[in-house]
Structure 1
């Protein structure tokens, strides 16, 4: 089949790598760029018929810029340098070359809502009120020995910190060592745009904008209003964040960043838009003329309960709100939230969690949109919730004023589980103490074991990826749901003028789904089925044929093609 031309992110699958815990090449216990290079063939070796490659199309790297690493890279001290933790600019250039040779695009995390307080810009800005960068950050006078207004930090407590050198307060959306840039200053804008060009000139294929809904701030620094009758333990949730998040000027900033990317061919702009936004607010970041983000990350789908009615509602909302000519984007996991198999633990107690993982994989890779996978998702990695406090690395989130400590994010960031050797092969057979402890289940849950097992979750993902790549209907066909408000099952069609694909997922763990739809198994071709873990690929790689089943057990899936 010859597929019509589309952008690579409309055709492709993005794979998020958390560099600190993906692969360690030098045995120091911390992931690095050379480790990623050595694992590229696992992600995509350039052979569409590979027996070992996952087959993804792009990697998104969490921050690798120079940083004191207080917030694990989300506190940048030099935007044009690689953090020595990960390697050098030469290592990065090699990563770009090696990735591109395999057909893998490279997306960088761009953290420009704020910098580290150790960035030279902030060191100069805080030194006096009349230096050249005095207005590069958000400085204000206090009010009667109190902060300038009631704006709070997303991580807890006041968003203002007093600086004795200037005798003023500076604002930080996140932690005190992450001062916010002043995007109203044209010099700040031009410097950020030059940084973007610096990386695009090195061959970067796109950026994910961190906290992209928080760039603009009210120029009058007005107080945020309290919510009526709200008494959330987290005081941040008791306010309407009208004046320090998602102002109209924010769209102007994102639009200008997009214009810089449009100076180059085929570059992608993704944005984290969920902070204090509704789905409608986030969708607006496509822009009035599809001239802002190509893919705005919204979290409603990922945060939805594992229930077909909720999931279908979020899919249909995206279908209705996504502008014509734009592409939705879907994900289950990322570095800031618990992994989906851990979030849906109640369901996991009812049935084999791998059945849930296969159902989730099917849904993610067959709805209309760009799928984003989080490292280890494809082998069923779960959160490690029992990391000893002394080994915790997530130190950016501060306790609330009441002393309550928020849930750390370390559990979803543990080392990739490559094999059953010491430290799960994360350090290529060496045995240092890794940056975070390896999940204890690595002996059973790892890449090597699953590659050997044709019934594994990893091989199921590989078949779904291959199916999606070769199906025009699954790449950009229309989506039509078949159940008005599903209670126990999801069923939908993906259609183009030339192809129709039917996807059915049984969410009931108490009773099977009887397939009495009037297809009578005539005129339909089985693409993928999971029957007692006997996975049949549409390419019939096993050399056997499985008939279309008459029923689906708990969390079983069925993908058919009209012939």
Structure 2
């Protein structure tokens, strides 16, 4: 397996609106991030993925871009951005920018031109269609609820928007669109950017004819994703991007790719023929997915999903390993125990993430064990997806408001977007003003200041994990083998690199299951590298009782 800096990295995602506010307007900003660079260096991350900071009317928190080559006023200026990247590079931290090119804002100059007339030179930059039989061009649904089409009276046609109606989809079939996108990517890379996280990049190719979705029971396909995800020209478009842009730079590229299989991922990330370095897959994020209810998940299913991705990509592609981001609930609330065993389960989940083969991602606040938030009212939420869902289910379909709020509290994207909890002062030290969204009320107990003062905190556990990853190549390059496949409490696996071997044992429950080492795993000596409870070095690991959410990593010889 080829060695590469982006395989050996740990990426820290910053959601700038919620990270740190430097000027008291209640909104995180670039100068706020600059002030916290030493914190990131102390943690030990070597790459930052910055969620969008471009010019935007902010309909979808910056993922609706009106100018790709300027900065949103609330976040600062291009001069601030240049100071930020310089400060990162001085500290040995690389910067990955969010690339959002499936769609733009409806306030982008291209779209403003496009809607003027049917023969405007920019008309074909977007996907316009006449209505059909007095309705939308097809029955595709938006991810944010309702039709994926918006009627525009100026020209009497509809435009496609897979997300908000203020996020019209670009028409990648138009070579001028591709040329302009590639030109913009070159511009950022020449500014010193170290890579791109590519937002829903596998949606850029749609099936010709844009057919209606037939009746289906599988809610994954009710949107029409079989016609706009992993489309017929996707690999062609990505290969053109590679030839035109990506191959000219030594950068990290990661595609956000819903609805992919391991085969899709290998096609996109194969070191010889693929265009991207890695992708975000969503199978494990869908394990408890049910739009209308809170669905229980099973550890054996998580094992099957993660193990398939580990084994299928071995030597053929590269994994991104994550349990949360700006679109997902907090992992300690979702997969762990955010009350009695918050610290223990946060450490266990960190071990799970960082011991898989792939590049691990840490989302801001994950390293101190931040939790989901349970706001009292829908009026306290800010996410367009949650607000639209509440409107659709409560106001239009008559659902019980408390039931819908319970869903949003469990699954809503705002769980990850509450302001970063820096200390126990008002507003968690995030701002001296009124925060754009309320702070999680548990901030007096869960914050960075507290974590840095406690040698047994989640923060220092992450710090040790990142240090071990730099020290032991097996953490990065070792092959993965699952053991105890059918155990519903214990997730255990080995990593092997040449003659080096790791044994990883994780208790995903608040119970005390007994771990029994399979007889085929033979060793002469053992070294305990990582643990979230005190462990006697003399303990026989062939059989022992695990404590709630216990994690252990042994090096076997």
**Given the superposition, is the C-alpha separation of residues 323 and 231 from structure 1 closer, same or farther in structure 2, using an over 3 Å criterion?**
closer
Q: 1: CA distance between counterparts of 2:224 and 2:149?
A: 17
Residue matched to 1:21? 18
State the SS of the aligned residue for 1:238.
coil
Unaligned runs of 5+ in 2: 289-296, 398-403
Q: Normalized against structure 2, the TM-score is what?
A: 0.89
Whether contact under 8 Å (2:267, 2:274) holds in the other structure is no
Change beyond 3 A, Cα 1:339–1:508: closer
In structure 1, the residue matched to 2:291 is none
**Residue 382 of structure 2 aligns to a residue in which SS?**
coil
Q: TM-score, normalised by structure 1?
A: 0.88
Is residue 2:553 matched to residue 1:559?
yes
Question: Which residue number in structure 2 is paired with residue 47 of structure 1?
Answer: none
What is the match of residue 475 of structure 2? 474
Match of 1:118 among 88, 92, 107: 107
RMSD: 2.6
Name the structure 2 match of 1:497. 498
Distance of 1:239 and 1:395 partners within structure 2: 18
Higher helix residue share: 2
CA displacement, residues 160-195 of structure 1 (integer Å, 9 cap, x when unaligned): 111111111111111111111111111111000001
Whether 1:8 aligns to 2:2 is no
Mapping of residues 267-306 of structure 1, within 5 Å: 267-274=251-258, 276-286=259-269, 289-304=272-287
1:395 lines up with 2:401 in the alignment: no
Moved more, 66-75 or 261-270: 261-270
SS of structure 1 residue aligned to 2:57 = coil
Q: Residues of 1 paired with 2:218 and 2:453: CA distance?
A: 53
Q: 1:257, CA displacement in angstroms?
A: 2.1
Find 2:327's aligned residue among 323, 328, 336.
336
Q: Does 1:486 align with 2:487?
A: yes
Instruction: Determine the C-alpha separation between the residues in 2 that align with 1:7 and 1:452.
Output: 35
**Structure 1 gap ranges (5+):** 45-52, 537-544
Secondary structure class of the residue paired with 2:146:
coil
Deviations 1:9-31 (A, max 9, x none): 10011111100000111111110
- Rounded Cα–Cα distance in structure 2 between residues aligned with 1:193 and 1:184: 14
- Deviation of 1:278 (Å): 4.4
Please give the per-residue CA displacement for 1:452-501, whole angstroms capped at 9, x wherever unaligned.
11111111111111111111111111222232433332222212124222
Check 1:516–1:371 CA distance in 2 against 1; reply closer, same or farther (3 A cut).
closer
Q: Could you tell me whether the CA contact under 8 Å between 1:31 and 1:86 is conserved in 2?
A: yes
Question: Which residue number corresponds to residue 437 of structure 1?
Answer: 438
CA contact (8 A) 2:142 2:223 kept: no
1:547 is displaced (CA, Å) by: 4.8
Question: Are the equivalent residues in 2 in contact too, given 1:290–1:326 (CA < 8 A)?
Answer: no
What residue in structure 2 maps to residue 425 of structure 1?
429
Superposition pairs of residues 508-519 of structure 1, within 5 angstroms: 508-513=509-514
Q: Is the 8 A contact 1:261 1:267 kept in 2?
A: no
1:322 aligns with 2:292: no
SS at match of 1:487: coil
On the 8 A contact 2:504/2:554 being kept in 1, the answer is: yes
Deviations 1:487-540 (A, max 9, x none): 332222212124222211233533343567789996211212222xx5x8xxxx
Q: Give the number of equivalent residue pairs.
A: 530
**Residue of structure 2 aligned with 1:59, choices 40, 48, 52:** 48
Which SS does the other structure have where 1:80 is aligned? strand
Report if aligned partners of 1:472, 1:499 keep a CA contact under 8 Å in 2: no
